Amino acid sequence: MTIPNEEAQSVRRALTGWYMANRRSLPWRKTCDPYHIWVSEIMLQQTQVNTVIAYYERFIRAFPDIRTLAEADLQGVLKLWEGLGYYSRARNFHAAAKTVMVLHDGRVPGKWDAFIDLPGVGDYIASAVQSIAFGKPVAVVDGNVKRVLARIFEISAPANQSSSYKIFKSIACDLLDRNDPGTFNQAVMELGALVCKPARPLCSECPVSPWCLAFAGGRPADFPVKIKKLPVPHHHLAVGVVFKQEKLLIVRRPETGMLGGLWEFPGGRIGPDEPAERACVRILKESTGVGTTVRAHLTRIRHAYTHFKITADVFICDWASGRVRLSGPTGHRWVTPEELPLYPMPKSNHKFMNQLMEAVQQ
């Protein structure tokens, strides 16, 4: 589709005017530093603004520039990312910082090709950082942008299908304000966050309602079109908190893959018809080489990841025999309960941490 020039101009003007008057005051909007803008965009990629603010401020305090980040150890970076999820973002960003130090003399590249070659940088991050920090004329496409565009232009391509990405990208490029792409991109995302919300869009307050086809047709709720996703699989796990005198066993996940590089209590999937307690002993033996006995059932937790859900039965166990010989995890430590906060751990483990501490103190 082609947007008539005059219409595109009017939409641009209305959007940026609205944005300048209504934008939220956010810490990353008070800086022109490409590194700081990069940090914020990585965090915002999968996470709500309100959650990101505190993480962003802590991260910038700890790693105020790219050199500090490049010289930090990965565990310290993951610790500051703890709870934010999608840990590959942190690992890739750390690797990208090292690359910037080596290949670009510590300066965030202002050229598209050099920037998008860095670890973890895809089209969204490259478009956001290059337009906001360097004024490059590239359009951003995220969930908010897709929703706004789908409604204004009644786009029937499913927004959650990867093959639709190029359709949204091309429309966003047509609409982009080439004189101030950074402001324009932020304006569309802000409109999606504050006005053109997923469930109840505030069309009466919307600066682009005069050009919005879905509004004119009284059917904003019909857009964006989405294809139905398959039901999310559910796994039942057993997790063992293994005590050896006053120390606890934690293991480190492989650096690549889900929750890579984080520490956790060992566990795994319970087999069909297998009692959870027996599964726990089996899994501990298979994954850590350690023989254990179960002392008590601590709790049951539930947790949802993007592509599956888990229910985990957590057991307090006692070491009974054997030395640690890992199969799966890439490292282990015997730590005191007081030392646990030093290690970056996944949210699912934090869900039973308070109960564990109470059990330890009894």
Residues at the site binding ligand SF4, with contacts judged by CB under 6 A: 148, 151-152, 195-196, 201-203, 206, 208-209, 212, 214-215, 220
The two structure tokens encoding residue 168: 């949204």
**30/200 with CB nearer ligand SF4:** 200
| Residue 263 DSSP label | E
**213/326 with CB nearer ligand SF4:** 213
Minimum distance between the CB of residue 210 and ligand SF4, rounded to whole angstroms?
A: 9
**155/284 with CB nearer ligand SF4:** 155
| CB contact burial 157-187 (16+ within 10 A = b; e otherwise) | bbbeeeebeebbbebbeebbbeebbbbbbbb
Minimum distance between the CB of residue 248 and ligand SF4, rounded to whole angstroms?
A: 51
Minimum distance between the CB of residue 139 and ligand SF4, rounded to whole angstroms?
A: 17
**101/194 with CB nearer ligand SF4:** 194
Examine the residue annotation and report whether 41 is marked as an active-site residue of this protein. yes
State the amino acid at position 47 in one-letter form. T
CA distance 300 to 315: 9
Minimum distance between the CB of residue 170 and ligand SF4, rounded to whole angstroms?
A: 19
Minimum distance between the CB of residue 10 and ligand SF4, rounded to whole angstroms?
A: 14
**Please, which residues bridge with residue 309 across strands?**
234, 304
**151/253 with CB nearer ligand SF4:** 151
Please tell me the chain's helix, strand, coil percentages from 3-state DSSP, rounded to the nearest 5: 50, 15, 35
The catalytic residue among 6, 7, 41, 190 is 41
- Whether 317 and 242 have beta carbons less than 8 Å apart is answered as yes
Minimum distance between the CB of residue 3 and ligand SF4, rounded to whole angstroms?
A: 14
**14/280 with CB nearer ligand SF4:** 14
Catalytic positions = 41
